[in-house]
Amino acid sequence: MIGRRRVELWTLLVAALVATICGAPPAFAGKKECAAAYVQAQELKQSGAFKKAREQLLVCAKDECMAAVKKDCVAWLDEVNASLPSIVIEAKGPDGKETFDVKVTIDGEVVGEKLDVKAIEVDPGTHKIVLEYAGQPAVEQELILRQGQKNKTVEVSFEKKKSEKAAPLVTEPEPAPDADAGATDKPKPPVLAYVLGGVGVVALAGTAYFWLGAESKKKDLEDSGCSPNCAEGDVDSIKDKRLFGDVALGVGVACLGAATWLYLSPKKSAPKPAAGLDLRVGPHGAFAGYAGRF
């Protein structure tokens, strides 16, 4: 069977050659065209150029071609149609609504000035597709199609982003910022408030330390039974501890009071007032105070 087809094909090619040389009637010109299309269709089909292969197969599948040639071309035509990929383009215009007013260019070739409801057939492989809508920047996409992939959806939108939408023609001017708007905001406490607070806490801890030390020393002397003739140094040590405790108490109270005022007082635009810590030690105790403009 295969041998007979080859004989028929060679007969066809020889007839086409004779017709060309001898000036045969026009009927033989169709036979030559069939033979050429038969050969080219096979080459194009093997290379994956299905669209061009189909054009040649449509030629060699005509009734005037030899029966064996026509039979092969019709069978190959079905294979090519099944293998040829296709895409469906869905486009939205600037108003966000679907539109057909999009120009389609694939690999530099314009395939449509406008979209329609039909799919676009493209050979398998990688393609560059350019979609254009009047008055809008063109959209470019790289498309990969596989053999037999049908109706692959390609979506494109020319809808304007919110930032690109036209601003209103009349806009009310924004009110000028109020210079006193932040005056009522509570300012952050100054660093000095934290410093004085820390000193106050440490001073109160020192008060407890010295007073407890004095009481402990006093109890030791009482237990020893030396009263009222205890050593003068031991008695003075008790007095000193009590004095240091009194001083620490004064410092602690003064510092904590100043820290509290600084923390709660509102921020003023006037220059910072001069402030100072006054500590006085007398024969009967100690006095500490915080002085400043309030």
- Domain ranges across the chain: 2-83, 86-161, 187-292
pLDDT of the residue at 22: 39
Q: What is the rounded distance in angstroms from the CA atom of residue 126 to the CA atom of residue 142?
A: 7
Spell out the CATH class of 86-161: mainly beta
- Name which residue leads in pLDDT, 274 or 175: 175
> How many residues are listed for the chain in this entry?
294
Q: What percent of the chain has pLDDT over 70?
A: 70
| pLDDT bracket for residue 202 (50, 70, 90) | confident
- If you average pLDDT over residues 192-217, what whole number do you get? 79
- Name which residue leads in pLDDT, 111 or 21: 111
Residues 14-50: tens digit of each pLDDT:
444 434 433 333 333 477 899 899 999 999 999 999 9
